[in-house]
Amino acid sequence: MKYYSTNRQSPPADLEEVVIKSLAGDKGLYMPEYIPSVDKNVIAAMKDKSFREIADIVAHAFFGKDMDPQALSDIVNDTLSFETPVVHVNDNIYSLELYHGPTLAFKDVGARFMARLSSYFILRKGLDREVNVLVATSGDTGGAVANGFLGVPGINVFVLYPKGKVSAIQECQFTTLGKNITALEIDGTFDDCQALVKAAFVDDDLNRQMQLTSANSINVARFLPQSFYYFNAYAQLDKAGKADKLIVCVPSGNFGNITAGLFAYKMGLPIKHFIAANNRNDVFFEYLKTGKYNPRPSVETYANAMDVGNPSNFARILDLFGNSHEQIAALISGYRYTNEQIADTMRDVFNAHKYLLDPHGACGYQALTDFRLKPEETGVFLETAHPAKFKETVDMILNTDTAIPAKLQEFMKGEKKSIALGKDFEGFKAFLMK
């Protein structure tokens, strides 16, 4: 399979190059030249398969021709050491809990898969220099990527995060690891962090001196494996006889997660409609309404992993639908929520249904409610992080003392180490060049 750039100025590349380089030379995002379909009968049979078996089928459809099939199965097995259960919340609304992995966020799936796939290609290629992963995080990505790549030979990871804008629990997941992980505390916003990473990828000096790559959802190996759990969710609901008219709602920031869902849909997964739930960072919501895309600086909210003002995967969504606003708006609905609305939803659902939402999942749940499901429809929202990851916010809103799972407590025992940098590119570049 070849991959082309959404900007169509760079030549098509194969998977190995796409995974190691991340971004095309013309700054476009890589897209597979065709989307393999999964046979209807194969999808129907998934209800009796495990998550690993389902993921294996989807992974082979995409990557199977470009690598050793057994190595791919091993990577899938190693990545999916946990389940993504679908849990009933109320009426015909279900939560797809994606937070049972090592750092308790959905990003564990993509990050771990990408780490193992990169390592496979680096070894296969016999690269004689180390690969440096640059990753900008608004909170959750850093932990997932750092843990996914921790100790992987031949790879260094630099995590850029906005000073004072990630929670203490999130921060310790990438500042306490040491080894091949370096945390960079940037005096700026998430968008500044992302801009630094993007500038580094197109800087000639840096690229001459070191092999750089990204572990953000611009990387194919990071976002595409996220399609696995859409199939798994379908299978679970199908088994319960609830999958006929499925509405899938995705709390969205950089739009990598929903893009993976759209890929699953294009592969043949019978999803009737998508909903993108936003917080006050609502450029996509505005795009659906007006057809105009106006990126702008992000604003801080309770759902901070969705505080993105210029979602990178928007380019992929446009490309998937031939730039047709009409097609995109027909398949995807948008909703946006203020902090007050997020808090109200969390309280309502906790009190009435005894279900603990995190602020991101709350946007998803509320959007499904406001969409007004028909009786024959089933709604599932992606619960993207464990509520304990946002303990301060959750406890403040619900007046609770949310228990911190043992996995998280382990991180909090470590010693925090990070390097403070400004948001100017020259300073960042000088640091990397050293």
Residues with catalytic annotation?
107
Which residue in the set 43, 55, 105, 152 belongs to the binding site for ligand PLP (CB under 6 A)? 105
Comparing CA positions, the residue from 315, 310, 304, 312 lying closest to residue 251 is 304
Nearer to ligand PLP, 132 or 304 (CB): 304
- Give the shortest CB-49-to-ligand PLP separation in angstroms: 25
Any bridge partners for residue 88, and if so which? 94
**How many Å apart are CA 160 and CA 212, to the nearest integer?**
14
Which residue in the set 366, 384, 393, 402 belongs to the binding site for ligand PLP (CB under 6 A)? 384
262, 268, 273, 276: CA torsion to nearest 10: -10
Q: Is 321 helix (H, G, I), strand (E, B) or coil?
A: coil
**Binding residues among 203-222 for ligand PLP as defined by CB under 6 A:** 217
Any bridge partners for residue 385, and if so which? 105
Nearer to ligand PLP, 360 or 423 (CB): 360
Question: 67-72: long-range contacts at Cβ-Cβ below 8 A with a sequence spacing of 24 or more?
Answer: 67/15, 67/120, 67/121, 67/124, 71/120
- Give the shortest CB-155-to-ligand PLP separation in angstroms: 21
**How many Å apart are CA 256 and CA 262, to the nearest integer?**
10
Alpha helices in 64-202 (DSSP H): 69-79, 107-125, 140-149, 168-175, 190-201
Is 387 among the residues that bind ligand PLP (CB under 6 A)?
A: no
- Which two structure tokens, joined as six digits, stand for 428? 């960042």
Is 140 among the residues that bind ligand PLP (CB under 6 A)?
A: yes
For the beta carbon of residue 119, count every other beta carbon within 10 angstroms: 18
Which residue in the set 18, 220, 237, 306 belongs to the binding site for ligand PLP (CB under 6 A)? 306
- Give the shortest CB-233-to-ligand PLP separation in angstroms: 16
431: left (phi over 0), alpha (psi -120 to 50) or beta: alpha
Nearer to ligand PLP, 13 or 111 (CB): 111
- Give the shortest CB-276-to-ligand PLP separation in angstroms: 8
Q: Give the burial class of 64: count Cβ atoms within 10 A of its Cβ; 0-12 exposed, 13-18 middle, 19 or more buried.
A: middle
- Give the shortest CB-9-to-ligand PLP separation in angstroms: 25
Alpha helices in 84-139 (DSSP H): 107-125
The 222-251 site mask, x for binding ligand PLP (CB under 6 A), equals -----------------------------x
Q: How far is C-alpha 314 from the chain's CA centre?
A: 13
Is 107 among the residues that bind ligand PLP (CB under 6 A)?
A: yes
Nearer to ligand PLP, 257 or 393 (CB): 257
Is 360 among the residues that bind ligand PLP (CB under 6 A)?
A: yes
- Give the shortest CB-111-to-ligand PLP separation in angstroms: 11
* Radius of gyration of the CA atoms of the chain, in A: 20
The 26-45 site mask, x for binding ligand PLP (CB under 6 A), equals --------------------
Is 112 among the residues that bind ligand PLP (CB under 6 A)?
A: no
Nearer to ligand PLP, 211 or 259 (CB): 259
Amino acid 402 reads: T
DSSP secondary structure letter of residue 105:
B
- Give the shortest CB-184-to-ligand PLP separation in angstroms: 19
- Which two structure tokens, joined as six digits, stand for 120? 């496979």
For the beta carbon of residue 115, count every other beta carbon within 10 angstroms: 28
Which residue in the set 212, 305, 367, 380 belongs to the binding site for ligand PLP (CB under 6 A)? 305
Comparing CA positions, the residue from 21, 27, 10 lying closest to residue 199 is 27
**Binding residues among 250-289 for ligand PLP as defined by CB under 6 A:** 251-257
Closest chain position to ligand PLP (CB): 140
Is 146 among the residues that bind ligand PLP (CB under 6 A)?
A: no
- Give the shortest CB-104-to-ligand PLP separation in angstroms: 9
Nearer to ligand PLP, 176 or 254 (CB): 254
Contacting residues toward ligand PLP, per CB under 6 A: 105, 107, 140, 217, 251-257, 305-306, 360, 384-385
